[in-house]
Structure 1
Amino acid sequence: MINIIREAAFGSINSVYSIAIIIIPIMIALQILKDFKVLDKITQPFNFLAKIFKTSNESVLPLLVGLIFGLSYGAGVIIQTAKEGNLTKRDLTLITVFLVACHAVFEDTLIFVAVGANGFILLGTRIIAAFILTYVLSKRIPMGDLSELNQVDSN
């Protein structure tokens, strides 16, 4: 029993460490890029997503990070952006819905291509499903008023 507890504890610590050595440098790099306004230039071409889903432009960065790096690593950016008060609960809900359907597009696609799947069909289906699902939901969730902008609880 002690061996199981010890292995579980060390396994958990190892997992947290593995995620931390990736997330911490990403968060530092993103903060530096944000301070020098580079992120604005990177995310600007994707602001059409915010218009389509009727979310704030601040929702584009966490969406892109989750799309590219996946949910585990994207969660750090999503949480940080929410704590900064830049996202409404509606924004967070729509980001989450999109990323549930379509995240880590490079990694997942390459893994499935390696075992014989058609990458174009897989990637296309995931992106189309994510767009449709998020778009339909964006029409069903009320926009709310602008006073909700900073409604996300930072605790």
Structure 2
Amino acid sequence: MPHTLASQFLNHTLPSLAREIFEVCLLLFKLMIPVLIIVKALEALGAIPYISVALEPVMRLVGLPESMGLVWTTTLLTNIYGGMLIFFQLAPQESLTVAQVTVLSSMMLIAHSLPLELRITQKAGVRIMVALLIRIISALLLGALLHWSYQWGGWLQQPVELIWQTPATDSSLLSWGINQLKSFVMIILIITVLMSLLRFLRWIHIERLMIWLLQPLLRILGIGPQATSLTIIGVTLGLSFGGGLLIREAQNGHISGKDCFSALCLLSLCHSVIEDTLLVMTLGADLSGVLWARLAFSLIFVAIMTRWLNHTSDAFQQRWLLNSSNSNTRKEGPMNAN
């Protein structure tokens, strides 16, 4: 029996994990390298201070320095990995606390990869402007609530310990390139550790525990049984997985517009809770904000939303909330996205 397990690990699990790590790293570097070049060009042109000043009011609302606005903007347009890379470039220049990193991380978790993920929610049946407002406003609201709470209680005010910092060297292009290569190596190591841990968590069936815990909550939230299993998939594995399945079920008429909207609201605010949470904790974020506060905020928001939907007419929902044109996607099929 032990020989069989070892053989399966060496012949199947290990090659599969290595291939998955390679594919993820390759995809991320394709996204990150253009972002890095653009940021370097903006820095050379002296544009970064102007971008930071433009985002100053938003960052002040959540208690963050101006430079972190560029981190969140990068996250919004690319993904969490892109924001992390910019964070490690800028964070050593700031005296950030654990509370501040937790606030920033919670905002990154709620609002990221918007060009891709908003398209998924649109195809599943929610108007794109509604989905955009939900993501942005919720991220800012949760960030502000966390900032005020941590400040009021004096919690997590100790300086954050960065696991990696850009070495203080000359500003030549060669030095910059060497530092980026070092950051890529660090990212590969982080991804390897995270994906190995995720594979282990799946092996011990942690997702079954999450399904057992979430099913009663979803019933309380008013999400119908037809959408429950798909919502749980999205919460545990990611918006692309759950959203893709919701697209198919909505097109086939198996899920009502109201249930689809409620499920997508929850998925928009709280998806991939294992992977993404572990990811931002490498920045130095605290679990209290990036998991528990985000989960509580998402559940309360969706509970309020579903009860409000019960008092609105079908005509109002179709006109302002639901994407009536998603019937056009029946010919296209579900969107396949990572």
RMSD: 2.2
TM-score, normalised relative to structure 1 = 0.81
2:103 matched to which residue of 1? 94
> In the TM superposition, what are the counterparts of 1:29-108 in structure 2 within 5 Å?
29-82=38-91, 84-89=92-97, 90-108=99-117
Match of 2:29 among 11, 20, 25: 20
Other structure's SS at 1:141 match: helix
Q: Output the amino acid matched with 2:161.
A: D
Would you say how many aligned residue pairs link Structure 1 and Structure 2?
A: 149
Q: Deviations over 1:21-56 (max 9, x none)?
A: 321332232123123211222332221112212221
**Overall identity of the aligned pairs, in %:** 16
* Distance in 1 (alpha carbons) for counterparts of 2:79 and 2:108: 8
2:161 matched to which residue of 1? 153
1:111 matched to which residue of 2? 120
Q: 1:117 to 1:24 in 2, by over 3 A?
A: same
Q: Output the amino acid matched with 1:153.
A: E
Q: Deviations over 1:63-108 (max 9, x none)?
A: 11112222132221122222x3325023322111112222222221
Unaligned runs of 5+ in 2: 1-7, 164-338
Match of 2:132 among 123, 126, 138: 123
* Distance in 2 (alpha carbons) for counterparts of 1:68 and 1:115: 21
Unaligned runs of 5+ in 1: none
* Distance in 2 (alpha carbons) for counterparts of 1:106 and 1:87: 31
